Amino acid sequence: MAARFSVMPSTVIKRFDYQPGSRELLVTFTTGRRYIYSKVPPEAVDRFRRAFSKGQHFNAHIRDRYEYRELEPAWGGED
């Protein structure tokens, strides 16, 4: 079951979803680009969730620290 954290108070990150079983973090940016970050521990996601500035926290603690791949753009109804 995914831990879903929908509406973000962020100018950079629209939302993120986490799959604890596979330790995959799906980040959707306000541009519509989506990335899956692999092997992200639950503690890192919890700190991300609690961060006041999602964009600053992401840049300092997630981006460039975990393997990632970009997904195809989501079309129609991806909120």
Would you say the pTM of this structure is higher than 0.95? no
Domains of the chain, residue spans: 3-71
Sheet containing 13-19, strands listed edge to edge, beginning at the edge strand earlier in sequence: 3-5, 13-19, 24-29, 34-37, 68-71
Strand partners, 56: none
**8: Cβ contacts below 8 Å, ≥ 6 apart:** 14, 15, 16, 54
Rounded to the nearest integer, the mean pLDDT of the chain is 87
Please name the amino acid found at residue 76: G
**7: Cβ contacts below 8 Å, ≥ 6 apart:** 15
pLDDT band for 40, please (50, 70, 90 cuts). very high
